[in-house]
Amino acid sequence: MRSIWQTGIAAAAVALQLLSAMPAAASVKGYRQANEHAILTELAGLLAIPNVASDRENIRRNADALVAMMEKRGLKPRLLESSDAKAPPVVYGEWRVAGAKRTIVLYAHYDGQPTDASQWTGSHPWKPVLRDKPLYAGGTVIPMPQPGEKIDPESRLYARSASDDKAGVMAILAAIDALKAEGRAPAANIKIVFEGEEEAGSPHLADILGRHKALLKSDGWVIFDGPAHQSGRVQVVFGARGIIGADITVYGANRPLHSGHYGNWAPNPAMELSRLLASMKDETGRVLIKGFYDDVEPLGEAERRAIAEAPQVDRELQAALGFGQPEGGGQSLLALISQPSLNIDGSKSAEVGGKARNIIPTTATATLDMRLVRGNDYRRQFDKLVAHVRAQGFYVTDREPTAEERARYPRVAQVALRDGYNAERADMDDPFARAVTDAVRHAGIGPIVNLPSMGGSLPLYVIRNTFDVPSIMVGIANHDNNQHAEDENLRLQNLWDGIEAAAGIMTMTF
């Protein structure tokens, strides 16, 4: 096996000479091919440190390990602390380039979702193992490769955060290695932000950014997080939807009533809630709340084109998810997630099935979330919801109604606001956004998917509010990575592609 390893190095060396005048990607690929074993070993070491944000001791061990990894690369690391000393720190590093007029922040997070080790199949969340293929395809554990041994790019590394998001951390650091090995410098100053509590909802991110505003000044952020597109292509995404949630409770009599003695007469809150919820959307899924779509900023030409050009995977997705008909009146998933939405997260009134009794329940509750796009304001969207509930004849309160209120009004609803924030989306025509797209597109990793926004929500507004710069997300992990669940995994080719994408972004000009 040793000879193959050496042949690889020799080939890479020849390639490096040939490609010294070419863009970074080609040579980065050579570096990576020659160093797969070292990269994989370094990543596996990082994955062996438990990384739940609330596990203060271990999360500090992660931060310390990252400081050491940055030191080794000359990135002048330091920990950026929150005003809350218990919060996981941001691990910061930088590569300043003499004469560079631009600055890019590269972001990834080193914490992972909490997980129950007993739910994992044949391995442990913080004891990384390699499998020859995915578990769902019958993959079995294979030995970690020896130095120089050829590594199948289809093999998968199983561990918590293998993909979400220590893959992002490793892609950035290995790309720096590749550039340094080549003796090349980025075109812009590079600042690195590794967050330690993204999976806990980034409760201290705004605080940390605010405390280090000057240090973190830049022309734009690139967020290495999230999966590649379902088609397998790396995706570059220019925003995320905002979100606002609400708990709606509807009230009936002040005690559960015998449905025989009082049914047809005493009001049934489960029925009233059903009617209220049904009034909110038509059969195609279009939201009927007055003015719901009014504030939406229309997508530009570039955004519409990007959606039209993205691979269509709706049919395959629907087959995998096993349902018979999507909402949306024939619009594609991508078109639909570019609009504001209203979703029922759950509903409950008394009990069902074996626990049910023949009663008229006293209350019925639904929890909703509404996703927002650019132009929406989360407080305004919530107000529209409240106005809709009023328009259906409900007296609306934001707390538990009093007995007097319940007795006085024909229909009573409590509508309680949950957390919310606005959408954030960079224009695709923004020079920084365009540069990132071009850099990933020409990174030598094949065609990419370009999307105006993801359907989910991220607090990107924190970056916009603090620095007024765009944030662009680059999703590299395999989409079937079991993100947030047990048996999280990373397909190695996705990491290799991520390294080339990161190097491409670092060397871009804009």
Determine, following the binding rule CB under 8 A, whether residue 231 of this chain makes contact with a copy of itself: no
282-311 positions binding a copy of itself, by CB under 8 A: 283, 285
Q: Which residue's CB is nearer to a copy of itself, number 450 or number 482?
A: 482
Phi and psi (nearest 5°) for 299?
-70, 145
8 A C-beta contact, residue 62 and residue 55: no
**Is the sign of the CA dihedral 500, 503, 505, 510 positive or negative?**
negative
Q: Which stretch binds a copy of itself (CB under 8 A): 14-22, 58-66, 380-388, 403-411?
A: 403-411
Interior CA angle at 28 toward 22 and 33, to 5°? 130
Determine, following the binding rule CB under 8 A, whether residue 495 of this chain makes contact with a copy of itself: no
Determine, following the binding rule CB under 8 A, whether residue 247 of this chain makes contact with a copy of itself: yes
Determine, following the binding rule CB under 8 A, whether residue 267 of this chain makes contact with a copy of itself: yes
Determine, following the binding rule CB under 8 A, whether residue 411 of this chain makes contact with a copy of itself: yes
Minimal distance, residue 339 CB to a copy of itself, in Å: 6
Residue 239 CB neighbours (<10 A): 27
Determine, following the binding rule CB under 8 A, whether residue 102 of this chain makes contact with a copy of itself: no
Determine, following the binding rule CB under 8 A, whether residue 361 of this chain makes contact with a copy of itself: yes
**Is the sign of the CA dihedral 392, 393, 399, 403 positive or negative?**
negative
Q: Which stretch binds a copy of itself (CB under 8 A): 42-50, 70-78, 153-161, 367-375?
A: 367-375
Which listed residue (99, 138, 298, 410) binds a copy of itself by CB under 8 A? 410
DSSP β-ladder status, 359-360 and 257-258: antiparallel
The torsion of the CA quartet 373, 378, 382, 384, rounded to 10 degrees, works out to: -60
Which listed residue (68, 344, 387, 391) binds a copy of itself by CB under 8 A? 344
Q: Which residue's CB is nearer to a copy of itself, number 275 or number 379?
A: 275
8 A C-beta contact, residue 495 and residue 39: yes
Positions of E strands within 111-229: 129-131, 141-142, 156-158, 189-195, 220-224
- Distant-in-sequence, close-in-space partners of 121: CB < 8 Å, separation ≥ 6: 135, 486, 487
8 A C-beta contact, residue 405 and residue 395: yes
Determine, following the binding rule CB under 8 A, whether residue 253 of this chain makes contact with a copy of itself: yes
Determine, following the binding rule CB under 8 A, whether residue 277 of this chain makes contact with a copy of itself: yes
Which listed residue (55, 132, 154, 369) binds a copy of itself by CB under 8 A? 369
Determine, following the binding rule CB under 8 A, whether residue 17 of this chain makes contact with a copy of itself: no
8 A C-beta contact, residue 436 and residue 102: no
Phi and psi (nearest 5°) for 244?
-145, 135
Determine, following the binding rule CB under 8 A, whether residue 391 of this chain makes contact with a copy of itself: no
Six-digit token pair at 468? 């007024």
8 A C-beta contact, residue 350 and residue 361: yes
Q: Which stretch binds a copy of itself (CB under 8 A): 39-47, 184-192, 209-217, 265-273?
A: 265-273
CB burial of residue 64 (10 Å; 0-12, 13-18, 19+): middle
Total residues in contact with a copy of itself, by rule CB under 8 A: 84
425-484 positions binding a copy of itself, by CB under 8 A: 454-457
Alpha helices in 149-204 (DSSP H): 166-182
Which listed residue (213, 258, 290, 379) binds a copy of itself by CB under 8 A? 258
Q: Which stretch binds a copy of itself (CB under 8 A): 127-135, 290-298, 322-330, 428-436?
A: 322-330
Determine, following the binding rule CB under 8 A, whether residue 55 of this chain makes contact with a copy of itself: no
In 3-state terms, what secondary structure has residue 443? coil
Determine, following the binding rule CB under 8 A, whether residue 203 of this chain makes contact with a copy of itself: no
Which listed residue (104, 412, 436, 469) binds a copy of itself by CB under 8 A? 412
Which listed residue (21, 98, 214, 321) binds a copy of itself by CB under 8 A? 321
Determine, following the binding rule CB under 8 A, whether residue 273 of this chain makes contact with a copy of itself: yes
Determine, following the binding rule CB under 8 A, whether residue 351 of this chain makes contact with a copy of itself: yes
Determine, following the binding rule CB under 8 A, whether residue 333 of this chain makes contact with a copy of itself: yes
Minimal distance, residue 326 CB to a copy of itself, in Å: 5
Minimal distance, residue 319 CB to a copy of itself, in Å: 7
Minimal distance, residue 454 CB to a copy of itself, in Å: 7
Type and span of the H or E element at 320 = helix 314-321
